């Protein structure tokens, strides 16, 4: 028997394919990428952290112009503006909200009142259970293979079965999934869908600079490192001059601060560092990336990426032995 996609049902939302494009802050995932993923049958997600309220509203409206598909936003709880960004997304009638790096009791209440599913991103069965009890409609289980801030050092393959058996809501697996084979592996472990980010950075529609994409394309397995982030969590990024400075403790302190994070160690400015890399100053910035970037060989249009994922997945035997 060949594999078939499970139906991913997040409340009333059922995408054609159970594939979510992970939200990527600092304008890595904006309206063009999110709309392209939604048009191709997945769920497109705008990374809202560090956007102003007006910018987020504008991104949501732009995405809506280009698609009738499902569009979400990802807002990190660590952002000082968390509550107002969530409220604005709700006012814009966003389809669903992903909360990364923590969550509050309030967000589930706001989502419930507005009829908008709240999907927290967690890395342990303990947090998954708490999130379900507070009203999560689905849960993203994110393993250590993921790009960006990390809530665990354990593989998605280890935490996923624990989280699947701890909750009744659908569990979406994230971290290191770059092809149909990777999707099949987590579906066999009980995931109802996947969240993928790194694969979608290497798309035509992703708005990052060419230099950012070329760093991804040239990356070898050993170029992916763990850095500390002033947010208070480790992050997975590509090795470059800036990452070396963080690792050796010689990173420049912020030369100004607008207090964008609820808690910040001020070791360096993570917002400036991510923005630098997005606009092409990759040596002066942090390039967040997932662990399996080296397995991706080309930049493709989103539609082609999704077509390939669907084909590769369909060719996977249902009872394949796990590696």
Ligand X SMILES: Cc1cc2nc3c(=O)[nH]c(=O)nc-3n(C[C@H](O)[C@H](O)[C@H](O)COP(=O)(O)O)c2cc1C
* Residues engaged in binding ligand X (CB under 6 A): 22-25, 28, 47, 49, 74, 76, 100, 121, 142, 145-148, 174-177, 195-198, 288-290, 292
Chain CA centroid to CA 140, Å: 9
Question: How far apart are CB 257 and ligand X at their closest, in Å?
Answer: 19
Question: How far apart are CB 1 and ligand X at their closest, in Å?
Answer: 27
For 313, the token pair is: 């997945």
Question: How far apart are CB 90 and ligand X at their closest, in Å?
Answer: 18
Question: How far apart are CB 292 and ligand X at their closest, in Å?
Answer: 6
Rounded Cα distance between 104 and 76, Å, is 11
Nearer to ligand X, 49 or 125 (CB): 49
Nearer to ligand X, 65 or 220 (CB): 220
For 213, the token pair is: 């994409």
Judge whether 77 and 127 are in contact, CB under 8 Å: no
Nearer to ligand X, 192 or 198 (CB): 198
**Main-chain dihedrals φ then ψ at residue 148, nearest 5 degrees:** 80, -160
For 249, the token pair is: 């403790």
Question: How far apart are CB 288 and ligand X at their closest, in Å?
Answer: 4
β-strands 171-174, 148-149 pairing: unpaired
CA-based nearest residue to 175, from 100, 111, 259, 105: 100
Strand order in the sheet with 148-149: 148-149, 234-238, 224-228
Nearer to ligand X, 169 or 237 (CB): 237
Nearer to ligand X, 12 or 145 (CB): 145
**Gyration radius from the chain CA atoms:** 18
- Looking up tokens 């509050």, which residue turns up? 104
Nearer to ligand X, 90 or 286 (CB): 286
Question: How far apart are CB 204 and ligand X at their closest, in Å?
Answer: 17
Rounded Cα distance between 14 and 17, Å, is 8
Question: How far apart are CB 16 and ligand X at their closest, in Å?
Answer: 20
Question: How far apart are CB 94 and ligand X at their closest, in Å?
Answer: 15
**Torsion 184-123-141-227 (CA) sign:** negative
Nearer to ligand X, 146 or 169 (CB): 146
Residues 6+ apart with CB under 8 A from 78: 49, 101, 102, 231, 232, 261, 262, 263
Question: How far apart are CB 25 and ligand X at their closest, in Å?
Answer: 3
For 67, the token pair is: 């698609």
Nearer to ligand X, 3 or 121 (CB): 121
> How many distinct helices (H) and strands (E) make up the chain?
12, 11
317: burial class by Cβ within 10 Å (0-12, 13-18, 19+)?
exposed
- The SS3 assignment for 75 reads strand
Nearer to ligand X, 69 or 175 (CB): 175
């Amino acid at each position: 028997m060949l594999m078939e996609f499970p139906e991913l049902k997040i409340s009333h939302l059922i995408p054609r394919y159970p594939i979510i494009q992970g939200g990527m802050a600092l304008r890595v995932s904006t309206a063009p990428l999110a709309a392209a993923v939604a048009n191709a049958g997945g769920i497109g997600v705008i990374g809202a952290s560090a956007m102003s309220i007006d910018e987020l509203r504008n991104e949501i409206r732009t995405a809506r112009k280009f698609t009738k598909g499902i569009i979400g936003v990802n807002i990190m709880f660590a952002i000082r503006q968390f509550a107002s960004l969530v409220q604005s997304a709700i006012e814009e009638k966003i389809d669903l909200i992903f909360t990364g790096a923590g969550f509050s009791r309030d967000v589930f209440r706001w989502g419930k009142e507005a009829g908008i599913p709240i999907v927290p991103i967690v890395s342990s069965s303990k947090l998954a259970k708490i999130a379900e009890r507070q009203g999560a409609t689905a849960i993203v289980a994110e393993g250590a293979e993921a790009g960006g801030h990390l809530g665990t050092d354990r593989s998605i393959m280890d935490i996923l079965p624990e989280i699947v058996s701890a909750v009744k809501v659908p569990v979406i697996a994230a971290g290191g999934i770059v092809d149909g084979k990777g999707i099949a592996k987590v579906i066999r472990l009980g995931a109802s869908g996947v969240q993928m980010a790194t694969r979608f950075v290497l798309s035509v529609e992703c708005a990052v600079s060419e230099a950012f994409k070329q760093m991804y394309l040239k990356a070898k397995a050993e170029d992916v490192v763990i850095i500390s982030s002033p947010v208070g969590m480790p992050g997975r990024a590509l090795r470059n001059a800036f990452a070396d400075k963080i690792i050796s403790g010689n990173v420049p302190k912020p030369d100004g601060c607008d207090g964008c994070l609820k808690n910040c160690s001020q070791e360096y400015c993570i917002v400036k560092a991510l923005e630098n890399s997005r606009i092409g100053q990759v040596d002066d910035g942090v390039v967040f990336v997932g662990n399996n970037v080296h397995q991706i060989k080309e930049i493709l249009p989103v539609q082609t990426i999704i077509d390939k994922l669907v084909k590769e997945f369909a060719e996977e035997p249902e009872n394949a032995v796990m590696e």
